[in-house]
Amino acid sequence: MNIYTFKHEADFNATGAGLIASLLHTKPRSVLGMATGSSPIGIYQRLIEMNRQGLVSFAKASTYNLDEYVGLPEGHPESYRSFMNEKLFNHIDIKMENTHVPDGNAADLEEECRKYDAMLEENGPVDLQILGLGHNGHIGFNEPGESLIGGTHVVELQEKTRTANARFFPSLADVPTQAITMGVGSILKAKQILLLVRGEDKAEIVKRALKGPITSQCPASLLQCHPNVVVLLDQGAGGLLS
Ligand code: GLP
């Protein structure tokens, strides 16, 4: 695991974007695993600039997002599909049909999970999986518990997660109670993982995830088992690592 801590946001973003761009240079048909949340936004902005300047192309790439809320109306500003379109896809040369986000409005959610796994199986493995980190150690929406699920599945969101994400909704009551998420098994199949964490409020969970015991009570701790993980932290998030 290679852990880098950055003093300046611009360096954090340039490093993350540079890693993704160099992968696309080597392999234009890369399969990218995408994440939402605030941590990757600056990297997505940097990639948009690089794409405009002709420094990177997504024309042959495909993407698979980690997760999506269940039951938000189509086009809802806080759906992860809307987030990805607004923050990245609408501004780069990717073909929209090559971008995939689980459908949180599918009539049969279990069937949607099976379809998503089948697509990942057929088009994967993911070359680079971007991840954020929840305050409770979740990755995607894999919440801590007695056990973890390998494949894509429907999850009940924990109160801590709903509260953390309430900042994007009019009130806590508006935050969906369920989501579809890729499982920890699918995440660990990626050839390389790029974990992005920002903020002092994440310092404790960063330490537990990267240096603590490997346990389903902290899903991100399973990343310690993966052979190729790059972690980018700002000073706040990295504050408790020696
Ligand atoms: C949400 C997403 C996660 C994301 C996490 C952290 O819960 N489902 O995939 O990693 O938020 O977000 P942030 O980057 O804002 O800390």
Break the chain into its structural domains and give their ranges: 8-128+139-190
Q: What is the pLDDT of residue 75?
A: 87
For domain 8-128+139-190, give the fold: Rossmann fold (3.40.50)
Question: How many angstroms does the Cα of residue 227 sit away from the middle of ligand 1?
Answer: 23
Using CA atoms, how far apart are residues 30 and 182, in angstroms rounded to an integer? 19
Strand 67-69 with 153-156, pairing:
unpaired
Give the catalytic positions in this structure.
Answer: 67, 136, 138, 143
> What token pair was written down for 28?
């234009």
Question: How many angstroms does the Cα of residue 29 sit away from the middle of ligand 1?
Answer: 26
Residue whose CA lies nearest to ligand 1 atom number 9: 140
Residue whose CA lies nearest to ligand 1 atom number 12: 37
Q: Is the CB of 66 under 6 A from ligand 1?
A: yes
Q: What is the pLDDT of residue 25?
A: 98
In the 8-state DSSP scheme, what is residue 4? E
Q: Is the CB of 38 under 6 A from ligand 1?
A: yes
Question: How many angstroms does the Cα of residue 105 sit away from the middle of ligand 1?
Answer: 20
Helix, strand, or coil here: 8? coil
- Alpha helices, DSSP H only, in the chain? 9-26, 41-52, 80-87, 109-123, 159-165, 184-188, 203-211
- Residuewise pLDDT in 10s, the chain (242 residues): 999 999 999 999 999 999 999 999 999 999 999 999 999 999 999 999 999 999 999 999 999 999 999 999 878 999 999 999 999 999 999 999 999 999 999 999 999 999 999 999 999 999 999 999 999 999 999 999 999 999 999 999 999 899 989 999 999 999 999 999 999 999 999 999 999 999 999 999 999 999 999 999 999 999 999 999 999 999 999 999 97
Question: How many angstroms does the Cα of residue 114 sit away from the middle of ligand 1?
Answer: 23
Q: What is the pLDDT of residue 242?
A: 78
- Residue 115, CA distances (Å) to 12, 39, 148 in order: 35, 28, 20
Q: Is the CB of 161 under 6 A from ligand 1?
A: yes
How crowded is the C-beta side of 12, counted as CA atoms within 13 Å?
A: 24
As to burial, measured by CB atoms within 10 angstroms (0-12 exposed, 13-18 middle, 19+ buried), residue 193 is: buried
Amino acid at 132: G
In the 8-state DSSP scheme, what is residue 130? E
Strand 178-181 with 153-156, pairing:
antiparallel
